[in-house]
Amino acid sequence: MAKSRKKSTRGGAQFFEDSTKPVELSPQDERTLGKVYNLASKITTLVDQDSEPVLAIPARSLSNVSFNEKKRVLQMGAKTTNRELFNLSQAKSFMQTALVAAGAKRLVEMGKTTSIRGLYYMLKHDVKGTKEPTFHDQGECDPVIEDCEVLLEALREELHLFADKRGDMVGNITIVDSGDEIDCSRMGSGGYAIPSIVEPSVIQFKKCSADFVLHVEKNTVWQRFNEDKFWKKHNCILTHGNGQPPRGVRRLLNRLHTELKLPIFCLLDNDPWGYYIYSVVKQGSINLAYESERMATPDAKFIGVRSRDFERCGLSEGVKISLSDVDRKRAKQIADYPWFVHKKEWQREIDTMLRNGFKLEVEALVSRSISYMTEEYVPRLLKEGDFLD
Amino acid sequence: MAKSRKKSTRGGAQFFEDSTKPVELSPQDERTLGKVYNLASKITTLVDQDSEPVLAIPARSLSNVSFNEKKRVLQMGAKTTNRELFNLSQAKSFMQTALVAAGAKRLVEMGKTTSIRGLYYMLKHDVKGTKEPTFHDQGECDPVIEDCEVLLEALREELHLFADKRGDMVGNITIVDSGDEIDCSRMGSGGYAIPSIVEPSVIQFKKCSADFVLHVEKNTVWQRFNEDKFWKKHNCILTHGNGQPPRGVRRLLNRLHTELKLPIFCLLDNDPWGYYIYSVVKQGSINLAYESERMATPDAKFIGVRSRDFERCGLSEGVKISLSDVDRKRAKQIADYPWFVHKKEWQREIDTMLRNGFKLEVEALVSRSISYMTEEYVPRLLKEGDFLD
């Protein structure tokens, strides 16, 4: 096995014009590479047997996604779609799939990571002897990357691909990131920028005295909580994902919960987008159901803002934002999600918003006073255990 | 003076339903507060004299902006527009201006900061005895904030208002942020998240051995440079602003250059957007010309990607992205900017792009090899001093 790998590595080095030498691999990288080799060997076996090369790609369609009530995450079913080399309509995507797998192999071997944009550029070239590009544009490459993730049963991060990074962290935790020890209670007003790959090979938890994680939607709200040193007073970790949290932030929340047993509380807007963000953090994304078990945190709680808050918190009239038709439609769709449909409290919450006819942003709490959210709103809900599940 | 201030503070505390006590002020905050008091006293003086209350707002129109060839930054002219209280069409904006100034005063006194969204919510209410809101929406509030900045000659940050934060930093510099010492050479793969307010009252430079700053456009490119420890090999600081750098990042680059005398090199896409980002970093934004002297870095250099690079770097055909009509139009506008129009090299650069008919992203360099940009491209240009000014 070791021998044949060495051979293939040389092949890879010739295929990509890259002289970087292979590095020593981590156990995780060894596993990923093993998966790529298995895939390749399945194809060569077929060829050796004079059979037509074919890949069975797990179907990423909605019909192949279901909610696992026990694990409380989205899961992919067993449906697959064949991708054949000797089929005019599938030959190109067969080639693209092999190319992405080869690219991932190369990245892992080099010990380098790249963005999906970088991989696209790395793989894009005219097929030898033709004017036909391997990929016309990024849009042709992205779904093939997702195909490879499900085909190889490897998270994108394990294929050494990273997504955009955004989102920051402060609080009572010390981590080690790529060998650097980082005390997140000494990160000033800026904070520690959460990287896009937070797998245990990159990030280790060194010391944590925090009791929970408060995840807020927006960086501006995060700045308010950090300035008021909320995490110090309430012994917690404070994160944000600048809107819908990117993969790195979701995976980090998952790890903080599963490995350190920290409860995760989400402070999001009282609107369909806020509900959706909660749903993605909690249950995973429908598009990427195959990664939910490691990216989602089914125990996450929704700590507000709630539809009842306009009256309950005595907010001023001006903070109401009328619901649009799109908002109403989205709210109804979300109410029908399998993980919300049987929950009375969520049905009531969404129903109240629809009857209110308006939505509320977290910043609306500023109309009470600048630090109302950090000094009264969240502390009261935490104390009373008053959140949605 | 001290006495009259105290009085007004109480008034403020009544006006805003906020019980937070005033804090001790920094010299900077004292100055800002002094400016607000001067403004208020101008108005009350007019009232005492039985004159009509009027504010002379410096005009923020393009016609009042000029390029100062000597300082090499955009500057506002002396034109002002009157805003009168006893004028039906101006009374509301007079009230809004006073309201924003009062809000800033309140924030400074409390030692708190907020987003412009937060300020909007803080100030929005129905005018007493009417159903008329002080602001209909955020869009009505934002220009008034800018009016107050020019009127008070205070950066937004000095009014305790912050913008979105994005952008990270790593490298051979140790800073102090809100009392926390942060060694940016020990920040792992994630980095130090640059806050939106980086004024000397918040961020101090403690120790810096770096020779220069490399500012890259995108976080994905920044990740590549950080992973390859470019800043360690080349003794520099590495920043990004996730696209057009937000105010905090631009102000930080300005401070790194003016206070630490570090050259700033910008690695941006070879497209009109990349040119524009360079222009904003270097000369300031046309909309916000009044802050250019503290936000812009006229000595910043453009280190690529260049229109010549497709051939020069031997990139593969697939990396070309055709120019759109909008691209062509924007490129011509940028070529006519006063700080580009007399520079032969910039005229040639933009002209070459137009003749090429395509643009190139920094990531296109990946088509050579994954670390071509960090190991060959940028080091060669730095060594040869080959950049645009």
pLDDT digits (tens, 9 = 90+) for A296-343: 999 999 998 999 999 999 998 889 999 999 999 999 999 999 889 999
CA distance A106 to A142: 18
Check: CB of residue B257 under 8 Å from CB of residue B167.
Answer: no
Interface contact A125-B316, CB threshold 8 A: yes
* pLDDT band per the 50, 70, 90 thresholds, residue A7: very low
All residues of chain B having their beta carbon less than 8 Å from the beta carbon of residue A121 are 318-319, 361, 363-364, 366-367
B93-110 pLDDT, tens digit each: 999 999 999 999 999 999
B81 touching A (Cβ < 8 Å):
no
Q: For B346-356, what is the mean pLDDT?
A: 97
Task: Give the one of B19, B114, B180 whose C-beta lies nearest to A186's C-beta.
Answer: B180
Q: For tokens 């070459």, what's the residue?
A: B352
Say whether pLDDT at A15 is over 60.
no
- More confidently predicted of A290 and B56: B56
Secondary structure class of A157 (helix, strand, coil): helix
Contact of A322 with chain B, judged by CB distance below 8 Å, is answered with no
Q: How many CA atoms lie within 13 A of A117 on its CB side?
A: 15
The mean per-residue pLDDT over the stretch A136-158 comes to 93
* Cβ count within 10 A of residue A274: 22
- Pick the more confident residue, A225 or B26: A225
Report the alpha-carbon distance of residue B75 to residue B64 in Å, rounded: 8
Average pLDDT over residues A253-282: 97
A13 near B CB under 8 A: no
Specify the pLDDT at position A105: 96
User: Would the pLDDT of A231 be above 70?
Assistant: yes
pTM score, whole prediction: 0.91
Length of chain A equals: 389
Query: DSSP code of A167?
Result: -
| Average confidence (pLDDT) over A39-58 | 95
Q: Does B314 touch chain A (CB under 8 A)?
A: no
Contact indicator for A181, B186 with CB cutoff of 8 Å: yes
Q: Is A193 on the interface with B (CB under 8 A)?
A: yes
The residues near B89 (Cβ < 8 Å, ≥ 6 apart) are none
Of B18, B189, B361, the CB nearest to A369: B18
What average pLDDT is seen over chain A? Answer: 91
Lowest mean pLDDT among A20-24, A168-172, A224-228, B264-268: A20-24
CB contact under 8 A, B125 and A367: yes
Closest CA in chain A for residue B366 = A122
| CB–CB contact A178 B162 (8 Å) | no
A-chain CB neighbours of B103 within 8 Å are: none
Rounded to the nearest 5°, which phi and psi values hold at A77?
A: -85, -165
- In angstroms, how far apart are the furthest CA atoms of chain B? 75
pLDDT band for B128, please (50, 70, 90 cuts).
confident
**Do the chains contact at B188 and A180, CB–CB below 8 Å?**
yes
CA A100, chain centre distance (Å): 20
Range in A252-261, B150-159, B256-265 with the lowest mean pLDDT: B150-159
Q: Which of B112, B166, B224 sits opposite A166 (nearest CB)?
A: B166
H/E stretch holding A156 reads: none
With a CB-CB cutoff of 8 Å, which residues 336-365 of chain A face chain B? 361, 363-364
Q: Give the least confident one: A136-140, A287-291, B317-321, B324-328.
A: A287-291
Tell how far CA B167 is from the center of its chain.
12
Q: What is the dihedral of CA A313, A317, A318, A319, to 10 degrees?
A: 30
Cβ distance A370 to B195 less than 8 Å, yes or no, reads no
**Residue A123: closest CA among chain B residues belongs to which residue?**
B367
Interchain contact, B176 vs A190, CB within 8 Å: no
B217 touches chain A (CB under 8 A): no
Question: Given this model, what pLDDT does residue A22 score?
Answer: 73
Type and span of the H or E element at A302: strand A301-304
CB proximity under 8 Å: B 124-143 to A:
124-126, 133-135
Gap from A219 CA to chain B (nearest CA, Å)? 7
The answer to whether A187 contacts B195, with C-beta atoms less than 8 Å apart, is no
Nearest CA in chain A to B104: A370
Query: For residue B20, what pLDDT band results from cuts at 50, 70 and 90?
Result: low
Residue of A124, A189, A358, A376 to mutate, testing the B interface (most B Cβ within 10 Å of its Cβ): A189
The answer to whether the beta carbons of residues B140 and B68 sit under 8 Å apart is no
Q: Are A65 and A286 in contact (CB under 8 A)?
A: yes
Minimum mean pLDDT range among B58-72, B218-232, B318-332:
B58-72
The residue-averaged pLDDT of A233-246 equals 96
Query: At residue B3, does pLDDT exceed 60?
Result: no
Residue B381 structure tokens: 């240009």
Q: Work out the average pLDDT over B342-347.
A: 96
What does the pLDDT read at residue A1? Answer: 38
Task: Identify the pLDDT of residue A333.
Answer: 94
As a three-state string, the secondary structure of chain B is CHHHHHHHHHHHHHHCCCCCCCCCCCHHHHHHHHHHHHHHHHHHHHHHCCCCCEEEEECCCHHHEEEECCCCEEEECCCEEEEECCCCCCHHHHHHHHHHHHHHHHHHHHCCCEEHHHHHHHHCCECCCCCCECCCCHHHHHHHHHHHHHHHCCCHHHHCEECCCCCEEEECEEEEECCEEEECCCCCCCCEECCCCCCCCCEEEEEECCCEEEEECCHHHHHHHHHCCHHHHCCEEEEECCCCCCHHHHHHHHHHHHHHCCCEEEECCECHHHHHHHHHHHHCCCCCHHHHHHHCCCCCEEEECCCCHHHHCCCCHHHCEECCHHHHHHHHHHHCCHHHHCCHHHHHHHHHHHHHCEEECHHHHHHCCCCHHHHHHHHHHHHHCCCEC
pLDDT of A87 higher than 60: yes
pLDDT bin (cut points 50, 70, 90) of residue A18 is low
Q: What is the mean pLDDT of residues B241-253?
A: 95
> Is A122 in contact with B242 (Cβ distance < 8 A)?
no
**Annotated catalytic residue within A37, A120, A121, A275:** A121
Lowest mean pLDDT among A60-69, A159-168, A201-210, B144-153: A60-69
Contact B223 A19 (CB under 8 A): no
Q: What is the pLDDT of residue A12?
A: 38
Average pLDDT, chain B: 91
Residues 6 or more apart from B232 whose CB is under 8 A from it?
B172, B185
Nearest chain A Cα to B133, which residue? A318
A-chain CB neighbours of B139 within 8 Å are none
Higher pLDDT, A356 or A9: A356
Instruction: Compute the count of residue pairs across chains A and B with CB atoms less than 8 Å apart.
Output: 211
Question: Residue A10 pLDDT > 70, yes or no?
Answer: no
Q: Do B190 and A189 touch (CB under 8 A)?
A: no
The least confident of A155-159, A211-215, A377-381 is A155-159
B151, pLDDT greater than 80: yes
CA dist B104 and B35 (Å) reads: 11
DSSP 8-state assignment for residue A136 = S
Percent of chain A with pLDDT over 70: 95
Six-digit token pair at A69? 């009530």
Q: B246 in contact with A at a CB cutoff of 8 Å? A: no
**Distance (Å) from the C-alpha of residue B226 to the closest C-alpha of chain A?**
11
State the average pLDDT over residues B335-364: 95
B317: nearest CA partner in chain A: A125
What pLDDT does B10 receive? 33
Identify which of B125, B191, B367 has the shortest CB distance to residue A124: B367
% of chain B with per-residue pLDDT over 70: 95
Strand order from edge to edge, sheet including B212-216: A301-304, A264-267, A212-216, A236-240, A168-171, A192-193, B192-193, B168-171, B236-240, B212-216, B264-267, B301-304
pLDDT greater than 80 at residue B5: no
Decide if pLDDT at A19 tops 80. Answer: no
For residue A278, indicate whether it is catalytic: no
CB B364 within 8 A of CB A15: no
Decide if A319 and B203 are in contact by the 8 Å CB cutoff.
no
**Is B182 touching A (CB cutoff 8 A)?**
yes
